[in-house]
Amino acid sequence: MIRDKVIFVTGGAGFIGWNTILRLCNDNKIIIYDNMYRHSKSDTFNLNVDNISIIKGDILDYELLYSSIPENTDIVLHFAAIAGVDTVLRNPVKTMEINTIGTYFLLKVVKEKGLIDKLHRLVFLSTSEVFGVTAFKSSEDTSTNLQPVGEARWVYSVSKVAGEHLINAYNKEFGLRSTILRPFNVYGPGQIGEGAIHQFVVRAIKNEPLQIHGDGTQIRSWCYIDDMVDGILLSLENDKAIGEVFNIGNPRGTLTILSLAEKVIYLSGSSSPIIFVPKNYIDVELRIPNIEKAQRILNYNPKVDLNEGLLRTIEWYKSRINKVY
């Protein structure tokens, strides 16, 4: 268990960040550093917890970032990033700046404030997109795949690969006790943005058309948010995670995008039609994780199957149908 720690969380108001904080806030002091551009709309976001403080700040604001990290920080969770296909396509420059320069700034602050020798752990959320177009049971040793320059779709993955190299360099050269996690398609209550399950569920409970880009044969493995947070906490608790990279996902939650849409409609009792629209961007056609390393070292085992996770997600959004998500 992580207890009595001071934890600094960049991007802590986001979906994964906030759910992680909810699991840590009762026993630790949490400092959230977030620009609030796309914060989680969970109704626990304004939870009155004395252990949580929020600093509205940009990861590219070096002076504010420097002054915001306490000198007694024990853990840094670096979750701040630009993500989501549509957002990345609209903002490729900002994506590169925040995901690479922002990561560099954070690491520089940690070093300049003398925190490297003090930190229990720094966890960096990377992405499964580092594997490129096709990732079939890809392990952590599988080569990262840099796609063609000029295709904005890959700016996100390239920026995350750069972040991984920076984190690893600080581990090797300066002894930073860091861990890199690669999430595979995380979903659940409170998610906002461009994720397929969020979009499908919100539309299904309103009986609106579910829109599929392309023919719907793209394959994904879906990981429920609680299982993702389990992976994060396990990586904090186990010293064998230092200097390592882990895939965090649920291979058992694998199906096509079309099958996912059909499942959401069925489980939500919706009358929504499915419509197909042209895909105007390069997509990942196959993404299934190999989680054997996380199982072996972290004792990580996802517990929530896809049907159960979807039912929980659907019920959560149904209870908030009059809110905007």
Q: Residue 314 has what DSSP assignment?
A: H
Q: Which residue type does 71 have? A: E
Could you say which of 156, 170, 187, 224 is catalytic?
Answer: 156
How many distinct helices (H) and strands (E) make up the chain? Answer: 11, 15
Whole-Å CA distances, 127 to 9, 84, 206, 217: 17, 11, 31, 21
Give start and end residues of each alpha helix (H) in 151-241: 155-174, 196-205, 225-237
Q: To which residue do tokens 């069925």 refer?
A: 266
> Which token pair is 72?
């007694």
d(CA 300, CA 248): 8
Tell me which residue of 204, 249, 205, 202 sits closest to 224, measured CA to CA: 249
- Determine the Cα–Cα distance for residues 233 and 181; give it in Å rounded to an integer: 11
Q: Whole-angstrom Cα distance, residue 164 to residue 160?
A: 6
Is 325 labeled as catalytic in the residue annotation? no
Look at the alpha carbons of 136, 139, 140, 141 in this order and tell me if their dihedral is positive or negative: negative
How far apart (Å, rounded) are the C-alpha atoms in residues 11 and 105?
A: 14
Residues taking part in catalysis: 156
